[in-house]
Structure formats: structure tokens, C-alpha cells
Amino acid sequence: MPLTNANFRYDLIIFDVGGTLIGSHQVAPFQEFLAHVGLPASDDDARRFHRKLIANILAERDKAQGKGANHTELDQWWSKVFAKTLAHRKDLVEEMLRWLIAGQFERLFDDTMPALQALAAMGIPLAVISNFGTHLRDLLARFGLLDFFDPIIVSAEVGIAKPDRRIFDLLAKKVNLPRHRLLYVGDHIGDDIEGAQSAGLDAVLIDRRNHHPNAPCPRISSLTELERYVHPPSQPAPAIVFDMDGVVLNSPPVHLLTWQRTLAPLGIELSASDHYPLEGLPTEVTAKRLTERFLGEACTDHEARQLANTKRALFREIFNPSFVPGIVPLLHDLQGRGYRLGLVTGSARSVVDESLVPTGTADFFEVIVTGDQVASGKPSPEPYRAAASRLGIPPAQCLAVENAPLGIRSAKAAGMGCVALETTLPAERLSAADHVFLDVQSMRAWLLAS
């Protein structure tokens, strides 16, 4: 099946089935079941029954991870869930299991058919890997899905279940395509995302109800997003370059505290309004700016280095790396969609190494430009121009994300678009940016909609 279409990032999209293409999300089938077995079947009865079942499925779902190498273990898991739901009528468990195998509880999700039709019309081949019983093909045929997929790999047929990488290996060998050109789509982090990634495939989580906002992987809220997901990104820019402090790291309060302690022996009482507008400057430059403002004369280069070293030592002692809420999931989302990512900070490389590298977050960024790697820091355009140069693309094809006026000036002077987050300063202090967002969640919505 070797294809490789330069218009798309993937040559094959592989789907999970249960919870991804079909699900037990509608109440009507359960109302029909209640009536069928002679139990009260009013609308309220059906909704209560459905809510209880879904709650039990969610409570037990992680215990099903890795199950499906044979039909029996899946039946046993479902029987346990049904027994909890029908605690007063366990005699009905077998009938409920029969309905399940016949596909009488499942329905297509509203986005399933439009997404599959759009992808097929684009000429992108589709496949299935699912932890399912041997009746899966009959079920897919019942819902008009069977002809979309080739190959179809079913755990109960091959004797291997996700997240075992061997089931993904089976498909990779069958289609003979580079693994980075294969995208897996599923609804479970363990079975689907971690399983696919362990085999070298890209993966995206379908999270229709936003149950996993902090998932360590890219997410989509509808399968119809795949139509854009498979294209190389271009809007709002193919590369996004982040400031670090106050954008990635939730560090400005600790920077403020350590500057306060560093400057207190000089009689300087530093406030947030004094410090935050200077964010982005190299540490030695900040020392000179603050001493000039409060003492009437800037400290010498030697004194600036001493103050900077004291401040850094205090920061190293106090700071426990934490992130701006929502930023790490956003980095997963952007990387998964093919955006090229960079980092530009006024902090020294040692701060990046101590704060970001141990968390693994530095791995998101193709290039990292620090304050001690450039001759002129922010608000000079040099740091952002250096990032664009290292990425190998023009600054006009980069979007900067900042939280301080000096950083915005630097990015705009470099020829980049720039958006800002209100993590340290209010919107009116960030008005030079193209867009200002209250938080990462609102910025994520704008970025992905673009």
C-alpha cells in the first residue's frame, strides 16, 4: 500500500471502534431493552438505567485495558458491568449480553459517517484495529461502515489486544508504510494512545465531552476535525514560538520573590507592578534596570553579575517547576497537528536545563533561544529572529506567544505575529499584541479554530 501523498501528513488513518465510531450513548435502545424484559420502561426509567450503566462502564473501563485477546474475557468484563447495573435482576445479564453482541445497544456517533465520508473522498485509506469480539465485521456491516476499512484487525481474531504493540505491528507490516505516516484514532489513553505510540505510530484522542483536558496527547472533540488534522498546518502560522516564564512555566511569582530577596539588602522594596513589565530581559539587564530606578544609578557590570548570580541561586533553591494551566496539553495538541514549536526566553540556558528539561517539556521545542545565547535580549528582535533562523523559516511564518510588553515588542520587531496571555499583566498592558487571551483555554480554542 505504499502511497505518501505530500498534501497530507498521513497515508493511513486507523480507527478504534467502540467509543470512537460507535457507542452506547443514546437512551432509546436501553428503553427498548427494559420494555423487552418486562421492566418499567418510562423515559425516566430509561434515563436512570442508562446513566447507571454509563457510570459503571466508566468506573470499570481501565480494568478492561489489555482485554480482548479472546472473546471470553471481553464477555466476562461486560457481564460484570451488567451485573452491577442490574444488581436486583442478575438473571437478565445474559440477555443484556446477547443484545450487546447483536449490536442492539450501539449507535453511530453523529460525527462518524460525515468524517469517514470526507476522508474517503480525500482519498485517504482507512483501517481498523479494535479490541473486540469476532462479531466486529458483522457489526460494522450493520452500521454501513464495513466497506470503509481495509485492513481490519480484531483482537479476538489475532489473539493480541491493545495496548500490546504487536497488534499495531501486525497492521504496519500488512500495509508496508512508514510508521510516522500512520495515525491512530481512539478514545482510551492506555489502550489506544499509549499502545499506538509504543509501536511508533502517531495517535490522537477523540474526547467529545472534554473528559480528558489534561491528557498527555493531542485531542480532537469531533472526528470531523480529522479532515484538517491530516493537512500540514498553515494557520495562524506553521510555527509557534513561546516565551517561557509566564507562558510555559508558572514562574513569575517566584522570580518576583527571589528578586525581592536579592534587592532587599540594598533597601529596594520591589512590587509586582515594578517587576512584571520588565519580564523577558536578561537577568543582568534586569539588575541594572531595577537599581537605576530605585537607587538613581545603575549598578556596574560586576555588581549586576553578582546580583544575577544571587537571584539565580535563590530561584534554584525555591522554584519547583510548575506550568501555566493548560499549556502542556496545548503543546501536545500543537505538536500532534504538525506545528513546529520553538522557545524564546530571557532566562539563561541553565534555568531551562534545571526547570524544563527534567520535566520532559523541553522536548516539545525544536529550537530554544535563551538570554545568554544572544547579544541583545528582548525587546530587541534578535532572540525571535534567531529562533526563526534556527527553524529555517521566515519570521513572518511564525507566531509568538508572550505575556509581557518587552516580549511583544521583540516578536513584532522581528516580523512575527504575536498573541499574549494575561498571566501577569492585564489586557491593556498587552495591547500591542495581535490578540490577547485571558487564559490558555481561550487561546487554544482560537489557535485550533484558525
Confidence of residue 62 (pLDDT cuts 50, 70, 90): confident
Residue tagged 513584532 (cell numbers): 412
Strands 398-402 and 367-369: unpaired
Q: Which residues of 229-250 are buried (b: 16+ CB within 10 A; e: fewer)?
A: bbeebeebbbbbbbbbbbbbbb
Over residues 66-75, mean pLDDT: 85
pLDDT over threshold 90, residue 65: no
Provide CATH code, domain 239-249+323-449: 3.40.50.1000
pLDDT over threshold 60, residue 3: no
- Closest by Cα among 106, 117, 119, 124 to 17: 106
Residue tagged 545565547 (cell numbers): 373
263-304 pLDDT per residue, tens: 999 999 999 999 999 988 888 999 999 999 999 999 999 999
Confidence of residue 4 (pLDDT cuts 50, 70, 90): low
pLDDT over threshold 80, residue 387: yes
Confidence of residue 72 (pLDDT cuts 50, 70, 90): confident
23-43 pLDDT per residue, tens: 999 999 999 999 999 999 999
119-158 pLDDT per residue, tens: 999 999 999 999 999 999 999 999 999 999 999 999 999 9
d(CA 181, CA 172): 10
99-124 pLDDT per residue, tens: 998 889 999 999 999 999 999 999 99
- For residue 26, the one-letter residue type is Q
Task: Say whether pTM exceeds 0.85.
Answer: yes
| More confident of the two residues 72 and 198 | 198
What does pLDDT average to over the chain? 95
Quote the pLDDT of residue 1.
59
CATH fold of 12-20+107-229, please?
Rossmann fold (3.40.50)
d(CA 275, CA 350): 21
CATH fold of 252-318, please?
DNA polymerase; domain 1 (1.10.150)
